[in-house]
Amino acid sequence: MKRDLSDKLYAEAQKLIPGGVNSPVRAFRGVGGEPFFVQRGRGSRIWDVDGNEYIDYVGSWGPLILGHAPAAVVKAVSKAARDGTSFGIPNALEIRLAKLVREVFPSIQKVRFVNSGTEAVMSALRLARGFTGRDMILKFEGCYHGHGDSMLVKAGSGALTLGQPDSAGVPADLAKLTLTVPFNDRVGVESMISIHRNEIAAVIVEPIPANAGLYLPKPGFLEFLRKITAAHDIVLIFDEVITGFRVARGGVQELCGVRPDLTCLGKIIGGGLPVGAFGGHAHIMDLLAPSGPVYQAGTLSGNPLAMAAGVAMLEALFAEPDLYKKLNDLTAELAVGVAAAAKDAGVKLAQNRIGSIFCNFFCDGPVTDYASAKCSDTKRYAAFFHAMLERGVYLAPSQFEVGFVSTAHTSADIEQTVGAAREAMRIA
């Protein structure tokens, strides 16, 4: 695999950008070595600046459910750009995208667009505090909700990959307002709410956590959260930045039937462009300025390019009735093949999968929470990652991130990936 130009660019980037990257997990610290620099993507494949080709299972960390450069999205963005890239003035595409979101999320009566998942979470938490008049937030260990100060307490994603689940620069007094319990721990939730019953503004959760690897809620756990928060007038927030439109059109809420008070979205709704959103019951959302006293604003919020990309993406998803079944079947084919490769090589592997999201943990399993995810053999994962990369397959450069299958992936891609895994497992 050629690396000359990537190595040159990375050396230059480190002189100009902290760590040489603009988001920590891209630096390959979780697997060792140095990152490659991408040149272009098409369908299920990406090419780096040295001309190496890879089957991509990262998909820009989830947004690219239609694969790279889907024609409908590229056409929509190109058309919007010809009319202007930014105005800071309302545009009709905001209304169209809001209708598409509301169409499949019954819990969302009103929605506000922002520029990232982090911004959506920060804004939703402020709104919950403003609505309840309380200050404390309850979150779950290993759930990552962006890099806002209140959420970098026992977080997942890049913070976990770097071995720093808490961040420097977060005031201790602010961190004290964030309570944490293990995911799936009903007793822990009950205990925290009992102790702080009149202080907790919101319980925020990834209904299917996908930032410390991937693990699933136990039967009834999400229903339990809905019941106990309602009983204590606590705002329930579902962070569906990853799972929204990914596990189903209506996200986890469609699968489990639980309706939170507020929902945070991102990734897929931007069609690959920077977008986030939060929405929920009208009587809560109407507390936002200019209607109410909770201030939130953004110069680029509702940007016409991002709105155009999001509309094109969601319309394409809504147009194909069997799309999610096809994604599920393809991802299952991949999981079965990789599991067989591990078994044949005598490698311990625990797999979690939901829809088109998958994670392979190098451990005995089962993986059900943050603690069990951390039992994974990260050195073995690193060896597997590099062996796959050498064979033209790009997986997440961290044991604690997930993989994504897109509609652009084919059975031939899966077959090639499984073949690479059979060789890589013997090396790992």
Q: Decide if 381 contacts 362 (C-beta within 8 A).
A: yes
Please report, in angstroms and rounded to a whole number, the separation of the first and last CA atoms in the chain.
19
Domain-terminating residue out of 319, 335, 351: 319
Write the DSSP assignment of 309-329 as a string of letters: HHHHHHHHHHH-TTHHHHHHH
Choose the final residue of a domain: 261, 290, 319: 319
Amino acid at 144: Y
Determine the pLDDT at residue 170.
Answer: 79
In angstroms, rounded to a whole number, what is the distance separating the alpha carbons of residues 172 and 267?
A: 31
Looking at the structure, tell me whether residues 193 and 235 fall in a common domain. yes
Question: In terms of domains, do 247 and 227 share one?
Answer: yes
Burial class from Cβ neighbours inside 10 Å (0-12, 13-18, 19+) for residue 251 reads buried
**Domain containing residue 103: CATH number:** 3.40.640.10
- 253-279 burial, b at 16+ Cβ within 10 Å, e below that, comes to bbbbebbbbbbbbbbbbbbbbbbbbbb
- Residue 162, pLDDT > 90, answer no
pLDDT tens per residue across span 20-53: 999 999 999 999 999 999 999 999 999 999 999 9
CATH number of the CATH domain containing 419: 3.90.1150.10
Which pLDDT belongs to residue 153?
Answer: 66
Residues 384 and 340 occupy one common structural domain: yes
The percent of residues above 70 in pLDDT, for the chain, comes to 96
Instruction: Provide the pLDDT for residue 259.
Output: 98
Whether pTM > 0.85 for this model: the answer is yes
Task: Check whether residue 185 and residue 82 sit in a common domain.
Answer: yes
| Domain, as residue range, for 195 | 71-319
Domain co-membership, 157 together with 210? yes
What confidence tens digit (pLDDT) does each residue in 302-328 have?
999 999 999 999 999 999 999 999 999
Answer yes or no: is pLDDT of 140 > 80.
Answer: yes
| Separation between Cα atoms, residue 322 and residue 411, nearest integer Å | 16
Answer yes or no: do 277 and 203 share one domain: yes
Active site residue 267: yes
Q: State mean pLDDT over 290-311.
A: 97
- How high is the pLDDT of residue 326? 96
What is the structure's pLDDT at 148?
A: 79
Domain shared by 226 and 369, yes or no: no
Active site residue 218: no
Given the residues 267, 369, 381, 413, the one annotated as active site: 267
Does 356 lie in the same domain as 233? no
Host H or E run for residue 237: strand 235-239
Q: Are residues 64 and 134 in the same domain?
A: no
Same domain, 36 and 104: no
Question: CB-based contacts of 320: which residues, under 8 Å, 6+ apart?
Answer: none
Kindly name the residue from 48, 239, 261, 413 that is annotated as catalytic. 239
Q: Find the mean pLDDT for residues 226-234.
A: 98
| Predicted confidence (pLDDT) at residue 155 exceeds the cutoff of 80 | no
How many other β-carbons are positioned within 10 Å of the β-carbon of residue 300?
17
| Residues 56 and 105 placed together within one structural domain of the fold | no
Q: How confident is the model at residue 163 (pLDDT cuts 50, 70, 90)?
A: very low
Q: Annotated catalytic, 144?
A: yes
Instruction: Return the DSSP state at 210.
Output: -
- Least confident residue range of 35-39, 151-155, 387-391: 151-155
Q: Which of 54, 57, 144, 370 is catalytic?
A: 144
Q: 306 or 166: which carries more pLDDT confidence?
A: 306
* Domain boundary pick from 302, 319, 336: 319
Q: What is the pLDDT of residue 161?
A: 41
Number of domains forming the structure of the chain: 2
pLDDT of residue 261: 98
Question: Domain check: are 21 and 118 in the same one?
Answer: no
Residue showing tokens 């060789």:
423
